[in-house]
Amino acid sequence: MKIYLDGKFVDQADAKISVFDHGLLYGDGVFEGIRLYGGNVFRLEEHLERLEMSAKAILMDLPWSRKEISDATCETCRQNGLTDGYIRLVVTRGVGDLGLSPWLCPKPSIFIIAAKIALYPAEHYTSGLTICTVPTRRINPAALPPTVKSLNYLNNILAKIEAKQSGCLEAIMLNDQGYVAECTGDNLFVVRKGEILTPSASQGALKGITRDAIFDIAAEIGVPMREANLTRYDVWCADECFLTGTAAEVIPVVKLDGRVIGNGKPGAITARVLEAFRRRVLVEGTRI
């Protein structure tokens, strides 16, 4: 495997960063997870815009143009002979002295990995996921805005561990007010009386690229959709539930906290959303 690292393609075994990199020392950096479908990088421009906004929010100046990062992303796929896969684009604050001060890091570092990924077993896309609610809460937006896709993922990791301890592959994280924020790595949607509802960023949800696509898909298939404050009750009593994410794509949920959702099977609207999503991924984006 070839990894793009600070302007060069290196073998996987040689893809190394310094122990003084502040991305490693302090989680000081930003990233994007991006999908490649049939030689098409899905919504690459939207991913790069979010990367730029995340960097701006943490006062990190990116020395590369959007086109330079786009070209490097596509070339990484070509270098690895990929037409379908997952891309991890990471920008760290770079090498600096010990201590929090980011101004001691003269330049950021960038690396791009293009490989395969399978987040959930295939059978769950047809039978649905069983998930749970975990104790670890989503970070308050006043502390760290969820719109910043940073390298600080420890609370999500703790929630993922708690999900596994409960026998689940994924879990809902609540915010400090008790509203549903998101899952450990996915956005959450419910369907109630023919309407799609999803938590807002103000409740702690990441503004996911796939999440944004669902708004477009809902308009396309004629299903009303809006952001709403959701509690666990709203998920327990929903007609349908599904999750979205770059790695997860669109996956149905059929049980939460021991309560069966709807009739316990993936719903009709979820199926229509998934079908429309699979059409879009081949045409919306950048050809490598």
Q: Mind telling me the catalytic residues?
A: 149
Here the tokens at position 239 are: 């007609």
What is the rounded CA–CA span in Å between residue 233 and residue 176?
16
Q: 5 - beta bridge partners?
A: 8, 111
Distance CA 22, CA 247 (A): 26
Helix crossing, 268-280 with 209-221: angle to 10°?
110
Output the six-digit token pair for 37. Answer: 């479908």
Query: Which amino acid type is present at position 90?
Result: V
- Give the C-alpha separation, 89 to 64, whole Å: 13
CB 162 within 8 A of CB 184: no
d(CA 83, CA 40): 7
Contact 253, 186 (CB under 8 A): no
What CA–CA distances, in Å, run from 193 to 81, 92, 153, 170, 264? 45, 45, 35, 25, 16
134: its two tokens: 């975990």
Nearest to 1 by CA among 111, 122, 109, 91: 111
